[in-house]
Amino acid sequence: MARSVTTQRKLTFTILGWAIGLLIFFPILWTFLTSFKTEGTAVATPPQFLFFDWTLENYHEVQSRSDYMKHVTNSVVISVGSTLIGLALAIPAAWAMAFSPTKRTKDVLMWMLSTKMMPPVGVLVPLYLIFRDWGLLDTRLGLVAVLTMINLPIIVWMLYTYFKEIPGEILEAARMDGASLMKEIVYVLTPMAVPGIASTMLLNIILAWNEAFWTLNLTAANAAPLTAFIASYSSPEGLFWAKLSAASTMAIAPILIMGWFSQKQLVRGLTFGAVK
Amino acid sequence: MATLQTRATARLMMSPAVILLFLWMIVPLVMTLYFSFLRYNLLMPGTEEFIGFLNYQYFLTDPAFFTALGNTLMLVGGTLLITVIGGILLAIVLDQPFWGQGIVRLLVIAPFFVMPTVSALVWKNMLMHPVNGLFAWIARSFGFQPIDWFAQLPLFSIILIVAWQWLPFATLILLTALQSLDGEQIEAAEMDGAGALSRFYYLVLPHMSRAITVVILIQTIFLLSVFAEILVTTNGGPGLQTTNITYLIYAQALLQFDVGGASAGGIVAVILANIVAFFLIRLIGKNLER
Amino acid sequence: MGSITLEKVSKSFGTTAVIPEIDLEIVDGEFVVFVGPSGCGKSTLLRMIAGLEDLSGGRIIIDGKDMSSEAPAKRGLSMVFQSYALYPHMSVYGNIAFPLKMNGQDKAAIDKKVKDAAHILNLTNYLDRRPGQLSGGQRQRVAIGRAIVRQPKAFLFDEPLSNLDAALRGNMRLEISDLHHQLKTTMIYVTHDQVEAMTMADKIVVLNAGRIEQVGSPLDLYRSPRNVFVAGFIGSPRMNLIEGQEAAKHNAVTLGVRPEHVRISKTEGAWKGTVGVTEHLGSDTFIHVQVDGIGKITVRTDGDFSTDFGQQVFLTPEPARLHRFDANGQAI
């Protein structure tokens, strides 16, 4: 489609687009900038935008808090761990549903989706009690288990839509060529599915990293990931804006970058393939 | 492909995921249902007894429930209104060719990746603070009295924060839908003499209607459960002004330790969510068949 | 060796019988084409022979051994798929070598066989490329290469040319026929295109609604179709099928005559009609004539014949080339 676009029109939309983009991004940018200010500059009126004395002091201070690294580790362990376990459960399931569908495959998929619709408060009480009785409260293991189950439907769905795109004839060809089921998976399916698996993984790490219902309710000091750590700034430490900003920047930066890489998959993953 | 042997293998491969999910769904749900018929308070152990629908009666006749229900509807509805309309407009702008399109796209979707606790705190403290916040400074620069957001407009403030988080989601999905619109269709309409507005109304909007429905349904599911934003900003207050159903049940369970009452509330929340889920599942199911 | 026998083979999905019951004998070295309209069960039948679909009943015997429930790879057959089904993440070399690798052959033997196959198929210069970088015809050749290196008992082709454009299709038709002459291996080829069937087959199997309508050499089917379905399906342009009074005159319910067996004259003949559309192909001319009391008749005549729209002409069918069918559509 070679539509002609006048320069003037393009210029108008460039200004409009950038204005909107910067406006929406501004809170993040502002957090980033504030993280380099002293506490005094952070609350200054009028606000200081760029021309202040940049300092790394806040980052030093946040990181020197004895428990900071623990929360980072918790976040990494919980998000990566739950995603990996989820993948291990979901890859065979999605493979089966995509390549040997039965009449009930659709029902199973829809049912999996429906578990995702359950509001977390609906099961908060029993889960809290089970966790208390089994000694899982405030443990990484418990959170990994919960987040695995929460994101499993999304993982299955995403993988299913990716696997669906691998033509069945190719796997049949492999079977004609004498590949056993194992070899079929190792030599043909996996290499073709790796991009899909990778983006599923990325998106689910992001979702698990940002999950803020179970992480807030089932953890205290030990297993709390960054979501809960930041929540502890709500009062009264929230008055220390510069430190809050530094902690926030560190908590969101890696995920933001991953998110930018996975933006295409985001749509597919979050709409369960309804919009591609 | 469809041979008996592959089918048996397939069932075997599906079972771990299916069984675990089934347990995950059914065990807590049955427990919630069971607790909801009990008098059960963690502070008074040993007094558990079957009380029938009394918990439901208390929960559903509690004025706090209606306040929370109203707040939930306002929160969901307000956020949807902002994100869907904003999303359509943003998608149309981002669909136009301009310099730096890719970067602007990244800027626009960024809020979605910010964890709820961070965005809530950043907005509450650094933007909406009545004295030192950026909004207050802007208001004063124009000679207005700054708004004390969380005192004067607590629910609206939360809607604003949540909408900021979900606007990227709506935009991205609507943009994807917009880009899948057949260019030749638009050109045909242009040849037929349709102006920009009628092209939008007769072609673009119907084409996006499915994506809009998906956005509304999926967001509703998530927005019914907004929690962290309320917890770190207002704790449901002032009074009950920002308490939604999720927060109400949380407070009942983990602050008042009323397991029975919270469970009854949980079941009510499940039923509310299922009404939405019913439509969403049908929509996605229809899509599966194509 | 590669003889394949189907004994009372049937297939049903639930209660619907896709293939009621089929008996067929395929001799070693034969080029057999399954032809029929879409949905006639020809692909299903091929996939059952390959082992990609279960049999609902009957037996498939390959070289005297019952292979009905053997895994696809154990049957010693190769298949070329409609979509080529090349492994997109492997080079051309990797694709052709894959079945040998699965077979556990050593590197040197694989290398030699792949290079030989590449040589036969003119792929030597493309061995390092990925399938995505090849044209349609080249991909097709890679798929064939992957099939031949295994030295199968028989090749199965599932509409292999339907994704190619017309010119390439003609070329590939020749190449596959050529290959058959070189290898002398049994080939079973599924197509809906009767031209492919006529030009390539030793033996054509015409299928309709899961049943075999007729089996025979191309010319057998052309000269003596056993029923109306085969008569209408084989031959291009289609045979003219006439019903009513004119057929009754010849003691038949349906009377068939091929366009090339009708003589056209501007002055005299058995049937009088008006010229409709004329298609000039250069070598031939197809004239669609509205004949009084009979209906539309297509005539094939030489390329120089010219008429005008609406002109009156006379047609005469060759009496010896008339096909007569009874009320059940069977040839008399």
Q: Mean pLDDT, to the nearest integer, of A118-126?
A: 83
Summarize pLDDT for B90-112 with one digit per residue, the tens. Answer: 998 988 888 888 899 889 989 99
A-C CB pairs within 8 A amount to 61
Domain boundary among C231, C251, C272: C231
Query: C53 and B4: CB-CB below 8 Å?
Result: no
Check B245 against A46: CB less than 8 A apart: no
Which of A96-100, A162-166, B43-47, B90-94 reaches the highest mean pLDDT? B90-94
| Token pair recorded at residue C23 | 């008996």
B173 in A contact zone (CB under 8 Å): yes
- Residue C138 within any structural domain of the chain: yes
Determine the average pLDDT of the residues in C8-33: 89
Q: Tell me which chain B residues have a C-beta less than 8 angstroms from the C-beta of C11.
A: none
d(C-alpha A107, C-alpha B105), whole Å: 36
Type of residue numbered B11: R
Q: Which of C84, C87, C151, C159 to mutate to test the interface with A (most CBs of A within 10 A)?
A: C87
The alpha-helical segments, DSSP class H, found in chain A are 7-34, 39-42, 57-64, 68-99, 105-116, 121-133, 140-164, 168-176, 181-183, 190-210, 214-217, 226-231, 241-261, 263-270
For residue A111, give how far its alpha carbon lies from the nearest alpha carbon of chain B (Å): 9
Cβ count within 10 A of residue B220? 20
Query: What is the helix (H) or strand (E) element at residue C187, kind and residue range?
Result: strand C186-191
Q: How far is A170 from chain C (nearest CA, A)?
A: 4
Measured in residues, chain C has a length of: 332
Which residues make beta-bridge pairs with C57? C10
Every domain of chain A and the residues it spans: 7-60, 65-232
In terms of Cα–Cα distance, which of A136, A152, A147 is closest to A82? Answer: A147
User: Measured between CA atoms, how close is C146 to chain B, in angstroms?
Assistant: 20
Eight-class DSSP state of B255: I
Asked whether the predicted pLDDT for residue A1 surpasses 60, the reply is no
Please indicate, yes or no, whether residues C173 and C315 belong to a single structural domain of this protein.
no
From A215, A210, A171, select the one nearest A189 (Cα to Cα): A171
CA-based nearest distance B5→chain C, Å: 9
B93, B97, B103, B106 alpha-carbon torsion, rounded to 10°: 40
* Residue among C190, C90, C193, C86 at smallest CA distance from C145: C86
The alpha carbon of residue B124 is apart from the nearest alpha carbon of chain A, in Å, by 9
pLDDT, residue B229, reads 87
DSSP-based three-state secondary structure for B14:
helix
Looking at residues B58-71, what average pLDDT do you find?
87
Query: Considering the domain boundaries, does residue C312 fall inside one?
Result: yes
Amino acid in position A82: S
- Taking contacts as CB-CB distances below 8 angstroms, the residues of chain A near B108 are 20-21, 24-25
Do C83 and C21 belong together in one domain? yes
Indicate if C281 and C225 belong to the same structural domain: no
Q: Is residue C104 part of a domain?
A: yes
Residues C71 and C102 in one domain: yes
* pLDDT for the residue A82: 93
**Percentage of chain A modeled with pLDDT above 90:** 11
Supply the mean pLDDT for chain B. 84
Contact at CB, C87 and A170, closer than 8 angstroms: yes
Read off the pLDDT band of B220 (50, 70, 90).
confident
B280 — contact with chain A (CB < 8 Å)?
yes
* Residue at C330 is within a domain: no
In angstroms, what CA-CA distances link B137 with B128, B149, C253?
10, 13, 96
Q: What is the pLDDT of residue C215?
A: 93
Same-domain check for residues C190 and C283? no
Instruction: Over range C52-75, report the average pLDDT.
Output: 88
Q: Chain C: residue nearest B1 by CA?
A: C52
pLDDT digits (tens, 9 = 90+) for A72-97: 888 899 999 999 999 999 988 888 88
What pLDDT sits at residue A236?
Answer: 61
For residue C304, is pLDDT > 90? no
Chain C partners (3+ C-beta pairs within 8 A) = A, B
Residue C81 counted as domain residue: yes
Q: Residue A237 — very low, low, confident or very high, per pLDDT cuts 50/70/90? A: low
Task: Examine the domain organization and report whether C64 and C168 are in the same domain.
Answer: yes
B282 touches chain A (CB under 8 A): no
Least confident piece of the model among A25-29, B150-154, C286-290:
B150-154
CB B206 within 8 A of CB B269: no
Phi, psi for C254 (deg, rounded to 5): -125, 135
pLDDT tens sequence across C207-255: 998 889 999 999 999 999 999 999 989 988 899 999 888 888 888 899 9
In a domain, residue C332? The reply is: no
Chain C residue at shortest CA distance from A103: C14
The three-class DSSP label of residue A117 is coil
Window A:203-242, CB contacts with B under 8 Å: 206, 209-210, 212-213, 216-217, 226-228, 230-231, 233-234, 238-239, 241
- Please tell me whether residues C69 and C199 are part of one structural domain: yes
Question: Inter-chain contact C71–A167, Cβ cutoff 8 Å?
Answer: no
A:B CB pairs within 8 Å: 325
> What is the CB neighbour count within 10 angstroms for residue C8?
12
Average pLDDT of chain A is 83
pLDDT confidence of residue B146? 81
pLDDT-based confidence at A2, cuts 50/70/90? very low
Q: Which of C215, C231, C247 is the last residue of a domain?
A: C231
Confidence at A195, pLDDT banded by 50, 70, 90: confident
**How many other β-carbons are positioned within 10 Å of the β-carbon of residue B109?**
24
Of C176, C204, C231, the domain-final residue: C231
- CA B267 → CA B142, B276, B281, distances in Å? 49, 15, 20
Same domain, C136 and C244: no
The yes/no answer on whether domain A65-232 falls in CATH 1.10.3720.10 is yes
Note the pLDDT of residue A275: 66
Q: C301 in a domain, yes or no?
A: yes
Residue C31 CA to residue C190 CA, distance in Å, equals 11
- Indicate if C137 and C37 belong to the same structural domain: yes
Question: Chain A: residue nearest C97 by CA?
Answer: A177
What is residue C216's predicted lDDT score, i.e. its pLDDT? 92
> Do B1 and C52 make contact, defined as CB atoms within 8 angstroms?
yes
Which range (A85-99, A255-269, B57-71, C114-128) has the least confidence? A255-269
> Quick check: C183 pLDDT over 50?
yes
Greatest alpha-carbon pair distance for chain B in Å reads 79
- 161-220 of A, contacting C, C-beta below 8 A: 167, 169-170, 172-180, 183, 187-188, 191-192
**CATH label of the domain that carries residue C154:** 3.40.50.300
Contact: B121, A248; criterion CB under 8 Å:
yes
| Cβ-based interface (< 8 Å): residues of C facing B | 51-54, 71
Report the pLDDT value the prediction gives residue B270, as an integer from 0 to 100. Answer: 87
Residues of C with CB under 8 A from a CB of A: 50-52, 71-73, 77-79, 81-83, 85-89, 98-99, 102-103, 146, 150
**pLDDT given at position A242:** 83
> Does residue B253 surpass a pLDDT of 70?
yes
| Cα atoms in the 13 Å half-sphere on the side-chain side of C283 | 1
Residues in A closer than 8 angstroms to C50, CB to CB, are 176
| Partner residue facing B25 (CB), from A14, A115, A259 | A115
Whether A119 sits inside 8 A of B246 (CB atoms) is: yes
pLDDT band at C92 (very low <50, low <70, confident <90, very high): very high
User: Quick check: B19 contacting A, CB < 8 Å?
Assistant: no
The set of chains that have 3 or more CB pairs under 8 A with B is A, C
Chains that touch A (3 or more CB pairs under 8 A): B, C
**Would you place residue A66 in the very low, low, confident or very high pLDDT band (cuts 50, 70, 90)?**
low
Is pLDDT larger for residue C42 or for residue A115? C42
Please check whether residues C145 and C76 belong to one and the same domain.
Answer: yes
Classify residue C146: in a domain, yes or no: yes
Among the residue ranges A50-59, A148-157, C86-95, C128-137, the one predicted with the least confidence is: A50-59
> How many structural domains does chain C have?
2
Whether A89 and B267 lie within 8 Å, measured CB to CB: no
Percent above pLDDT 70 for chain A: 94
When mean pLDDT is compared across A54-58, B242-246, C120-124, the lowest value belongs to A54-58
**Residue B1 predicted with pLDDT over 50:** no
Q: Do C73 and C104 reside in the same domain of the chain?
A: yes
Residues C121 and C193 in one domain: yes
Indicate if the pLDDT at residue A3 is higher than 60. Answer: no
Q: Is A238's pLDDT higher than 60?
A: no
- Over range C6-34, report the average pLDDT: 89
Domain that holds residue C31: 4-231
SS3 state of residue B55: helix
Q: Which domains does chain B have, with CATH numbers?
A: 61-289 (1.10.3720.10)
Q: For residues B237 and C113, which has the higher predicted lDDT (pLDDT)?
A: C113
Specify the pairing of strand C31-35 against strand C186-191: parallel
